[in-house]
Amino acid sequence: MTWQVNKTTLNIVKIKGDKIIRTVDEIVQEVPVTLFLNGKEFVTMVCSPEGLEELAVGFLCSEGLLQTPNDLKELTVDYENGIIYVEAAEGDSEAKFLKRNITSCCGRGRPVFYFVNDAKSMNKVTAQLLVTPGQVWDLSDRLEEMSVLFKQTGGVHNAALCAPTEVILFYEDVGRHNAVDKIFGRAFLNRIPLEDKILVFSGRVSSEIVIKVGKMGLPVIISRSAPTNLGIEMAEKLGITVVGFAKGERMNVYTYPERILG
């Protein structure tokens, strides 16, 4: 397994009109990684092989298993075998997580009560951040400029943690959720304050993405793509501004436009 490179090269056949070209092309890497929590196999994810610490921590933050910096005791990555070992404070969160997922898990989707309970137990984001339309377009342009792996391979999503005028963290991943979890994980590890930050994202703003944004406590998500109705409903409840299709001097503001319009 080749680790810590996000792409590989392969012999392929390119067809352009009536020309057939045998050539070498760059392909995005996708690897399975298994997370062990307190000695037990916990979850396997398919991801880009970079930022595995961030991914593990962000995933556990998203699932409520890490809440304060003291909850994380130890973090070890075995790159060769694709295994991440996390030692975390034992709370009731793990039991709750397992209870919630064993009945209705497997590979995608979350239980219905996930939505209801998670949204209920989350605090509404009340931060008064202001991001001007010009800043929104600048950040969206910056995300695209930084998306080198996407330009090379076309196979990843991108996420950046930003202040209104600067990019602080940036990740690319074959998985839409992973890119956001890596942001969450690095912000947790570096103890970056989030109430005055923005998530800038290439992917669709679905309910699961909005829940992650709410758990981070970010007041604004800016996407170059579309939201879903459930994503918007949840953002409405959680006090989050959702901006979609932010590119080329255009954007749609779906919730809490006062953070954009002033």
Give the residue from 193, 195, 200, 133 showing the smallest Cα distance to 171: 200
- Residue numbers 234-253 binding a second copy by CB under 8 A: 244-245, 249-253
Which one among 76, 91, 105, 130 touches a second copy, defined by CB under 8 A?
A: 105
Write down the least CB distance from residue 108 to a second copy, Å: 6
Cβ proximity to a second copy: between 46 and 95 the closer is: 46
Q: Report yes or no: 55 and 33 within 8 Å, Cβ to Cβ.
A: yes
Write down the least CB distance from residue 239 to a second copy, Å: 17
106 is catalytic: yes
**Residue 41 interacts with a second copy (CB under 8 A): yes or no:** yes
Q: Report yes or no: 21 and 14 within 8 Å, Cβ to Cβ.
A: yes
- Site of tokens 């570096």: 190
For the four alpha carbons of 129, 132, 134 and 137, in that order, the dihedral sign comes to positive
- Site of tokens 């009340």: 126
Cβ proximity to a second copy: between 63 and 71 the closer is: 63
Give the residue from 199, 193, 244 showing the smallest Cα distance to 221: 199
Tell me the sheet residues that pair with 199.
161, 221
Look up residue 59 and give its two tokens.
């995933």
**Residue 97 interacts with a second copy (CB under 8 A): yes or no:** yes
**Residue 257 interacts with a second copy (CB under 8 A): yes or no:** yes
Q: Is 244 helix (H, G, I), strand (E, B) or coil?
A: strand
Which one among 16, 39, 128, 191 touches a second copy, defined by CB under 8 A?
A: 16
State the CB neighbour count (10 A cutoff) for residue 195.
Answer: 13
DSSP 109: -
The amino acid at 29: Q
> Near a second copy by CB under 8 A, which window of 122-130, 152-160, 161-169, 189-197?
152-160
- Residue numbers 179-198 binding a second copy by CB under 8 A: none
Catalytic residue (choose from 47, 61, 106, 162): 106
Write down the least CB distance from residue 199 to a second copy, Å: 18
> Near a second copy by CB under 8 A, which window of 99-107, 140-148, 161-169, 184-192?
99-107
Active site residues: 106
